[in-house]
Amino acid sequence: MNEEQEKADATLPARDSQDERRPDERRPDERRPDERRPGLRAVGPLASRLAAPVVARHGGGILARLKADWPAVIGADIAAATWPQALGRDGVLKLRVAAATALELQHRAPLLIERINVYLGRPAISRLVFVQGPLPLAPPARRGSLRQLGDAEAEAIERQIAAIGDSELKAALARLGKSVASSAARRR
């Protein structure tokens, strides 16, 4: 029987690779790299391949990490006056800064670069560029509750606006007077 098998094998052409098999001879789990697969596929790998060049152009994951932990990286006092805006390929970090603190931060730039690089674990930032302007995530103005005015203060405000004839103007001035009087009392 061995001779018969050898003769049968000799008549068949030799196969060097799996791609030379006929499609019906392939195992079900074998596919060519260019062959489309029917059914649902995960979107994650495809989206990451599409987004990778865009993310790399705008600082990659480094900028996202910095923005997420900015107060912890740089310190709460400096973070209140700055915001990382963009990261260039050559390690230049653009910081949006409040105009009042720009000069001070420029003098402290080496310290800031060191803090950022220590956080990242490698020397990713080589230089800082300060762009003066409003911060994108400026903290909202805190409005404390107004304290109740005493009778004497309320009467004094009413006396001062009594001569005004326009009712809308009179109401607006009354609100302004109460606000100023209560905030002045808070400062004392």
Distance (Å, whole) CA 104 – CA 131: 13
pLDDT digits (tens, 9 = 90+) for 57-108: 655 678 888 888 899 999 988 998 999 998 887 889 999 998 889 999 999 9
Q: Report the pLDDT averaged over residues 140-168.
A: 80
> Phi and psi dihedrals of 141, rounded to 5?
-65, 130
Q: Is residue 136 predicted with pLDDT exceeding 70? A: yes
Q: Is residue 15 predicted with pLDDT exceeding 60? A: no
Percent of the chain with pLDDT over 90: 19
Q: Report the pLDDT averaged over residues 123-152.
A: 78
Cβ atoms of 82 and 117 within 8 Å: the answer is: no
Q: Which has more pLDDT, 56 or 104?
A: 104
**The pLDDT value given to residue 99:** 87
When the pLDDT of each residue in the chain is averaged and rounded to a whole number, the result is: 78
Q: Is residue 111 predicted with pLDDT exceeding 90? A: yes
pLDDT digits (tens, 9 = 90+) for 35-50: 666 777 787 777 778 7
Q: Which has more pLDDT, 68 or 27?
A: 68
| Through-space distance between the first and last CA atoms of the chain, rounded to whole angstroms | 111
pLDDT category at 4 given cuts 50, 70, 90 is low
The residues, ordered by sequence, that sit 6+ positions from 60 with a Cβ below 8 Å of its Cβ are: 87
Residue with tokens 């009413």: 158
pLDDT category at 143 given cuts 50, 70, 90 is low
**The pLDDT value given to residue 185:** 56
Q: Which has more pLDDT, 149 or 132?
A: 132
**The pLDDT value given to residue 135:** 83
